[in-house]
Structure formats: structure tokens, C-alpha cells
């Protein structure tokens, strides 16, 4: 069995869907209530591959909300993730994806030092961040959407916002080695990490966000920002392709310009329907088929009988491992959302 640990995008979102989730008593409650809510196994479902193989899965809602980080409720955030992992393990789930902010909280607060969760000793090999598949899907979205829009990658300037992150650095490595884009712009806040990435790649211009926005033909947004931001359309090049890979989606949906294309980044579409409700709750356009690529990674590992932490730690994702998970993705019927 595979598992998915997820969370909702905001307190407002959580309050609005509480009833739908079967918890009407949560609908009126504020952030402190959510801080004390335990994780819940919300639903179980089956997923069929185009090879014919069928696997069983479960979705665990951690009850983490991004506001817990913004409002300095770090202890609650940590508790949410550890408790959700302990619940997945207690259910006997072999491989579970840490969706959205779950893996970010895990790394940020060094939770590998917190193996013991009450009576459960966490076995980290049962969990994957899903970031290798997410990075693979994002680079394929860059390649496929730019071809559709007539943007020549060999001449294009690509800005990666969140370049030093786990997904961002993997995207940079791929765009450098596999796609050979003309120029790579590296955007994040910590200068030391930016310089280390630049040294590793042997290329890339370190720029502030405002400078990068003006120069980019393609903008890959994979920064871990808990709230969505607005970008001024007038600052962007025309045409411009934006891949919004953050969760919650970091960019507002208000960018509406005939020469600017915004794609939901890191989302895959399965070839066969899945009967679950969770993707409806997170507002996927085609909820029976579309999902986060990190969730799909847990499915792929289960399909392949490779129940291990394929994506783990930080900044270790190689183009070769992206290619490998990409092969599994195609084999089982998943396609990047274009």
C-alpha cells in the first residue's frame, strides 16, 4: 500500500472544506484548534496503471496549515508532520509521499533527529519527498510548453526562483545538462547557497527577483513561500512562460495577458480515472486524473515494487534519477500537465 500525506492551503481553505471532509465541527474553528487537531486517514482508494497493475493507497490529512509557519507556531507544525508520518507507518503503509510543506518542515526542523513518536519508531525508508518526480515533471513542462509557444530554449533565459531548494537545484542541473538553455538566472535569498549552486553548475547569474523578472523568457517558480504573491504583468517579458510549481500556488491567478502563459507546475495527469475526493478539495481542474507529482512518485514506487525513500535529504537530485522516475511515470500512464 502507498500513502500520501497532504495538507490544505490556508486556514480559510480548511474552514471552507471542513464540512466536505466530514468534520463540520472544524468549520468555525481558528488556527489554535487546527494546531491541536490530530492527523486523519481521510480516504482509501485504488489506482490502476496502464500496464494493468492495480495498487491500494490512502490519503492522510496532517491538519498542518501554512499559517503555522507564518505565525511562528513551529512546534505545532513539527507535531503535525511527525504525527502524520507515525499514523502512516502504523497503518502499515510501505511508501508515503510527504506532500506540500511536509518535507520542507521535515528538513527545516531537522526531524531526522526525531525518530521516536510515542510508541512508533519512524522508519524513514518508508517515506519519500516526491521531489525527484516533481522536478522531472517541471522540466518536462518547461520543454513541452516552450515548444508549443515557439520559445527556443537554446536562446532562452530561464529564471529559477527558489533555485537553491531541493526542487529548484534539480531543475537547474537538468536545464544546464539536458536542455542546455542559453542563460540561467538563479534567485533565492541566501547568497552563500546561491554561490555554492553557481560554483556547482559552473554557470548561472545570481539576481534579485525584480531583476530576474525583467530578463526571463521562462520563469520557474519553486520557492517555498506559504502565501501567494502577485507579480506585476508590466515587469515581465512578452512572451513569457511561467511554471508555478509552489504549493500553495505561489503566484496569483490574476496574470492575464495574451502573451503570458501560466502553467500549474509539478502537476501530472493520469491516463485513467481515480475515484477519490481529495483532488477535488484542492481544486484540481480534472480531479479524477490530476495530482501533485510528489504524490504520483509514491504511486510509481509502489507500482515498481520499489518501496524506498527514492527522494530524500536536500539537493541530491541528479538528472539521471529524474530520468529514471520519468521512465516509470510514462510507463504507468502519467503525463505532465500542459
Stretch that binds ligand NDP, among 40-48, 101-109, 151-159, 305-313 (CB under 6 A): 101-109
Q: Please report whether residue 262 would count as binding ligand NDP according to CB under 6 A.
A: no
Q: Please report whether residue 224 would count as binding ligand NDP according to CB under 6 A.
A: yes
Count of residues touching ligand NDP (by CB under 6 A): 32
Question: Does residue 275 contact residue 23 with C-beta atoms inside 8 Å?
Answer: no
CB-based closest residue to ligand NDP: 165
Q: Please report whether residue 223 would count as binding ligand NDP according to CB under 6 A.
A: yes
Residue from 83, 94, 96, 131 binding ligand NDP (CB under 6 A): 131
Could you tell me the sign of the dihedral formed by the alpha carbons of 122, 323, 192, 228, in that order? negative
CA distance linking residue 98 with residue 105, whole number of Å: 10
Q: How far is the CB of 259 from ligand NDP (least distance, A)?
A: 25
Cell matching residue 252: 496569483
Stretch that binds ligand NDP, among 50-58, 84-92, 242-250, 303-311 (CB under 6 A): 242-250
Q: Please report whether residue 222 would count as binding ligand NDP according to CB under 6 A.
A: yes
Q: How far is the CB of 251 from ligand NDP (least distance, A)?
A: 11
Stretch that binds ligand NDP, among 15-23, 36-44, 73-81, 287-295 (CB under 6 A): 287-295
CA distance linking residue 84 with residue 80, whole number of Å: 6
CA distance linking residue 39 with residue 62, whole number of Å: 4
Q: How far is the CB of 295 from ligand NDP (least distance, A)?
A: 7
Q: How far is the CB of 212 from ligand NDP (least distance, A)?
A: 10
Specify the 3-state DSSP secondary structure of 150. Answer: coil
Residue from 130, 204, 326, 333 binding ligand NDP (CB under 6 A): 130
Instruction: Name residues contacting ligand NDP, limited to 30-89 (CB under 6 A).
Output: none
Question: Does residue 132 contact residue 311 with C-beta atoms inside 8 Å?
Answer: yes
Q: Please report whether residue 247 would count as binding ligand NDP according to CB under 6 A.
A: yes
Binding pattern for the stretch 166-205 against ligand NDP, x by CB under 6 A and - elsewhere: xxx------------------xxxx--x------------
Q: Please report whether residue 293 would count as binding ligand NDP according to CB under 6 A.
A: yes
| CA distances in angstroms from 57 to 44, 226, 227, listed in the order given | 6, 27, 29
Question: What one-character-per-residue DSSP string does 249-279 give?
Answer: -SB-TT--BTTEEEEETTEEEESS----SHH
311 DSSP assignment: S
Q: How far is the CB of 150 from ligand NDP (least distance, A)?
A: 26
β-bridge pairing 54-61 and 40-48: antiparallel
CA distance linking residue 100 with residue 94, whole number of Å: 20
Residue from 9, 89, 94, 103 binding ligand NDP (CB under 6 A): 103
Q: How far is the CB of 101 from ligand NDP (least distance, A)?
A: 5
CB nearer to ligand NDP: pick between 154 and 242: 242
Cell matching residue 238: 512578452
Helix axes 319-331, 293-303, angle to 10 degrees: 70
Query: Sheet of 95-98: strands edge to edge?
Result: 40-48, 54-61, 2-6, 95-98, 127-128
Q: Please report whether residue 275 would count as binding ligand NDP according to CB under 6 A.
A: no
Residues that bind ligand NDP (CB under 6 A): 100-101, 103-104, 130-131, 134, 161-168, 187-190, 193, 222-225, 245-247, 266, 292-294, 314
Amino acid at each position: 500500500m502507498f500513502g500520501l500525506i497532504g495538507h490544505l492551503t490556508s486556514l480559510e481553505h480548511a474552514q471552507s472544506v471542513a464540512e466536505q471532509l466530514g468534520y463540520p465541527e472544524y468549520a468555525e474553528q481558528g488556527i489554535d484548534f487546527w494546531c491541536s487537531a490530530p492527523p486523519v486517514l481521510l480516504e482509501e482508494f485504488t489506482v490502476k496503471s496502464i500496464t494493468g497493475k492495480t495498487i491500494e493507497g490512502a490519503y492522510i490529512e496532517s491538519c498542518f496549515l501554512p499559517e503555522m509557519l507564518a505565525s511562528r507556531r513551529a512546534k505545532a507544525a513539527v507535531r503535525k508532520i511527525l504525527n502524520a508520518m507515525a499514523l502512516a507507518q502504523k497503518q502499515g503503509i510501505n511508501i508515503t509521499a510527504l506532500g506540500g510543506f511536509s518535507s520542507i518542515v521535515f528538513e527545516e526542523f531537522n526531524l531526522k533527529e526525531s525518530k521516536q513518536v510515542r510508541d512508533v519508531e519512524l522508519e524513514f525508508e518508508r517515506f519519500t519527498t516526491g521531489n525527484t518526480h516533481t522536478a522531472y515533471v517541471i522540466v518536462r513542462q518547461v520543454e513541452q510548453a516552450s515548444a508549443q509557444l515557439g520559445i527556443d530554449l537554446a536562446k532562452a533565459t530561464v529564471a529559477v526562483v527558489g533555485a537553491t531548494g531541493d526542487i529548484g537545484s534539480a531543475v537547474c542541473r537538468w536545464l544546464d545538462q539536458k536542455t542546455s538553455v542559453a542563460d540561467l538566472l538563479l534567485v533565492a535569498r541566501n547568497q552563500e547557497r546561491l554561490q555554492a549552486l553557481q560554483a556547482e553548475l559552473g554557470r548561472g547569474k545570481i539576481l534579485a527577483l525584480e531583476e530576474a523578472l525583467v530578463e526571463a523568457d521562462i520563469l520557474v517558480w519553486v520557492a517555498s513561500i506559504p502565501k501567494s504573491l502577485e507579480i506585476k504583468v508590466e515587469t515581465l517579458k512578452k512572451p513569457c512562460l511561467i511554471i508555478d510549481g509552489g504549493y500553495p500556488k505561489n503566484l496569483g491567478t490574476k496574470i492575464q495577458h495574451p502573451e503570458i502563459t501560466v502553467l500549474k507546475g509539478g502537476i501530472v495527469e493520469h491516463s485513467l480515472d481515480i475515484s477519490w475526493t481529495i483532488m477535488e478539495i484542492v481544486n484540481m481542474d480534472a480531479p479524477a486524473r490530476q495530482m501533485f507529482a510528489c504524490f504520483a512518485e509514491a504511486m510509481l514506487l509502489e507500482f515498481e515494487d520499489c518501496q524506498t525513500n527514492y527522494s530524500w535529504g536536500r539537493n541530491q537530485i541528479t538528472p539521471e534519477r529524474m530520468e529514471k522516475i520519468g521512465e516509470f511515470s510514462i510507463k504507468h500512464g502519467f503525463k505532465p500537465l500542459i
